[in-house]
Structure 1
Amino acid sequence: MTMRPFTVLAAFAAMSVALPAAAQEVTIEDVKFLSRDGKTQVKGYLYKPADAPEKLPAVVMLHGRGGAYSSLAKGKYDASTLSARHKMWGQLLAKAGYAALMVDDFGPMGYPDGFGRFTYNDRPEALNEVTMRPLHAYGALRFLQSRADIIGTRVALLGWSNGGSATLAAMADDKPGDMRKIGFSVGIPIYPGCGLKNAFAKGYKPYNPVRVFMGSGDEEVSSALCERFVGRSKAKGGDITIRVFKDATHSYDTPIKSRQSVPANAAAKASTETEVLAILAEHLKQ
Structure 2
Amino acid sequence: MFDRAALLLSMSLVVVTGCGPAGDGAVACGQLEPRNADEVALCNGLDQAVIARVAVPEGEPPASGWPGVVMLHGSGGLFLGGDPCSETLQDQFRIWADMLTSRGYAVAMPASFYSRGFCDWTEKATVPRELDEHERLIVRTFDGVAAADWLCDDPRVDCSRLALLGFSNGASTAMMMLHEDLGAADDPRLHELADAVPGFSGGVAYYPGCGLQGELASHLAEAEVDRYYYPHAPIWVPHAEKDALLATCEELRDPQVDVIADREDVSEDRFELEVYAGADHGFDVWFTGDPQADREARVDAQARALAKLADWLSDSP
Compute the TM-score of the two structures, normalised by the length of structure 2: 0.71
Partner of 1:222: 245
1:236 and 2:260 equivalent?
yes
After superposition, the Cα gap between the structure-2 partners of 1:215 and 1:186, relative to the gap in structure 1 and judged at 3 Å, is same
The structure showing larger relative contact order (alpha-carbon pairs under 8 Å, at least 6 residues apart) is 1
**Per-residue CA distance 1:160-201 (angstroms, 9 max, x = gap):** 11111111111111143496xx32221221110011112221
SS in 1 for 2:237: strand
Give the letter aligned to residue 239 of structure 1. R
1:77 and 2:86 equivalent?
yes
In the TM superposition, 1:59-70 aligns within 5 A as 59-70=69-80
SS in 2 for 1:154: strand
Give the superposition deviation at 1:262.
0.5
After superposition, the Cα gap between the structure-2 partners of 1:166 and 1:151, relative to the gap in structure 1 and judged at 3 Å, is same
Are the counterparts in 2 of residues 57 and 98 from structure 1 also a CA contact under 8 Å? yes
Between the aligned partners of 1:36 and 1:109, the Cα distance in structure 2 is 15
Between the aligned partners of 1:34 and 1:227, the Cα distance in structure 2 is 35
Structure 2 regions of 5+ residues with no counterpart? 1-36, 183-193, 218-223, 262-268
Aligned residue pair count: 247
The share of aligned pairs that are identical, in percent, is 28
1:41 and 2:65 equivalent?
no
Give the superposition deviation at 1:76.
4.2
Compute the TM-score of the two structures, normalised by the length of structure 1: 0.78
**Per-residue CA distance 1:51-86 (angstroms, 9 max, x = gap):** 252420011011111211224x453431xx211111
Give the superposition deviation at 1:158.
1.3
**Per-residue CA distance 1:4-48 (angstroms, 9 max, x = gap):** xxxxxxxxxxxxxxxxxxxxxxxx8222211122x1121111122
Between the aligned partners of 1:66 and 1:178, the Cα distance in structure 2 is 28
Are the counterparts in 2 of residues 60 and 157 from structure 1 also a CA contact under 8 Å? yes
Are the counterparts in 2 of residues 65 and 116 from structure 1 also a CA contact under 8 Å? no
Structure 1 regions of 5+ residues with no counterpart? 1-27
Instruction: Work out which of the residue numbers 215, 236, 239 in structure 2 matches 1:211.
Output: 236
After superposition, the Cα gap between the structure-2 partners of 1:240 and 1:76, relative to the gap in structure 1 and judged at 3 Å, is closer
Partner of 1:281: 310
Give the superposition deviation at 1:127.
6.9
RMSD (Å) for aligned C-alpha atoms: 2.6
Partner of 1:198: 214
Between the aligned partners of 1:158 and 1:191, the Cα distance in structure 2 is 11
**Per-residue CA distance 1:131-178 (angstroms, 9 max, x = gap):** 221111111111110001111111111111111111111111114349
Partner of 1:131: 138
Give the letter aligned to residue 106 of structure 1. F
SS in 2 for 1:128: helix
Please identify, of 233-242 and 145-154, the stretch whose mean Cα deviation from structure 2 is larger. 233-242
In the TM superposition, 1:184-195 aligns within 5 A as 184-195=200-211
Instruction: Work out which of the residue numbers 244, 266, 269 in structure 1 matches 2:295.
Output: 266
After superposition, the Cα gap between the structure-2 partners of 1:116 and 1:227, relative to the gap in structure 1 and judged at 3 Å, is farther
Are the counterparts in 2 of residues 252 and 260 from structure 1 also a CA contact under 8 Å? no
Between the aligned partners of 1:89 and 1:159, the Cα distance in structure 2 is 11
Partner of 1:56: 66
After superposition, the Cα gap between the structure-2 partners of 1:260 and 1:144, relative to the gap in structure 1 and judged at 3 Å, is farther
Between the aligned partners of 1:69 and 1:178, the Cα distance in structure 2 is 28
Are the counterparts in 2 of residues 161 and 190 from structure 1 also a CA contact under 8 Å? yes
Between the aligned partners of 1:100 and 1:165, the Cα distance in structure 2 is 19
